[in-house]
Amino acid sequence: MGIEIIILVTILCPSYALAYPMKYKLVTDNENKTIMNVNVVSDDGKCVLTIENGTLVSDRTKKVVQEITITKIENILAESGDMEILAAYKIEPYHATFEPSAKLQIAYDFAYLNVGVKIYDNGWSSVPTNIDIKNNKIFAELNKTGIIALFVKKSKWIDITGYIIANQNTILAIIMVMVIITIVLKIALSKMG
């Protein structure tokens, strides 16, 4: 009944869905393992956690977890080495574990080659990933919940008067070429005149 009400309110008032992410119930058997696949979808629809049939989902005290939510984190500022956050999500309850691992999929808007997923637990830790560059999706396996983030390698591009120029070395190379062309033109003009 509660899920139907949230879905109905989401259709009638979409801002409610952003404030209150959907809670996904996990149905388990007498061994506390899930009895069906569950796709937990984030409030923005871009992050999906698939918990497969037969998965044990438990908290720190080994108590069975009954529901999972994924919420997008807005305006998060964090860096990890030469990487910066493209998108971040809270998967709750925190520190729940998956046996076997759950499958994570995150869709993103632009084609990045240097992306990765990290999970926060007293610092950022990389999670092994597979990237679908054509469809702008990244896949990973998680063995626990928490804050996860899609990191992208920091850009070395700089903006000069509205034009994007590659990196500083390219700018210096362009300046050098312009200086050489200017010298060659001056020599050519002096020989003509």
- Express each pLDDT in 18-64 by its tens digit: 445 688 999 999 999 999 999 999 999 999 999 999 999 999 999 99
Mean pLDDT of 2-7: 37
Q: Which pLDDT tens digit goes with each residue over 155-170? A: 655 444 444 444 555 6
pLDDT category at 11 given cuts 50, 70, 90 is: very low
* Integer Cα distance of 179 and 189 in angstroms: 15
The confidence score (pLDDT) of residue 9 equals: 37
- The predicted model scores a pTM of 0.69
The confidence score (pLDDT) of residue 180 equals: 92
Nearest to 101 by CA among 51, 129, 143: 143
Q: Which residue has the tokens 């896949």?
A: 139
Structure tokens at 14: 């979409």
Checking if the pLDDT of 8 tops 60, the result is no
* Integer Cα distance of 102 and 52 in angstroms: 7
The confidence score (pLDDT) of residue 168 equals: 54
The confidence score (pLDDT) of residue 155 equals: 62
The confidence score (pLDDT) of residue 188 equals: 87
Burial label, 105 (beta-carbon count in 10 A; 0-12, 13-18, 19+) = middle
pLDDT category at 190 given cuts 50, 70, 90 is: confident
Checking if the pLDDT of 2 tops 90, the result is no
Q: Which pLDDT tens digit goes with each residue over 93-128? A: 999 999 999 999 999 887 666 788 999 988 889 999
Q: What is the 3-state secondary structure (H, E, C) of the chain?
A: CHHHHHHHHHHHCHHHHHHCCCCEECCECCCCEECCCEEEECCCCCEEEEECCCCEEECCCCCECCEEEEEEECCCCCEECCEEEEEEEEEECCCCEEEEEEEEEEECCCCCCCEEEEEECCCEEEECEEEECCCCEEEEEEEECEEEEEEEECCCCEEECCEEECCHHHHHHHHHHHHHHHHHHHHHHHHHC
**What Å distances lie between residue 4 and 7, 10, 76, CA to CA?**
5, 10, 31
Contacts of residue 90, defined as CB under 8 A and 6 or more positions apart, other chains included, come to 69, 70, 71, 73, 146, 147
Checking if the pLDDT of 10 tops 60, the result is no
Least confident of 81-95, 96-110, 144-158: 144-158
Checking if the pLDDT of 85 tops 80, the result is yes
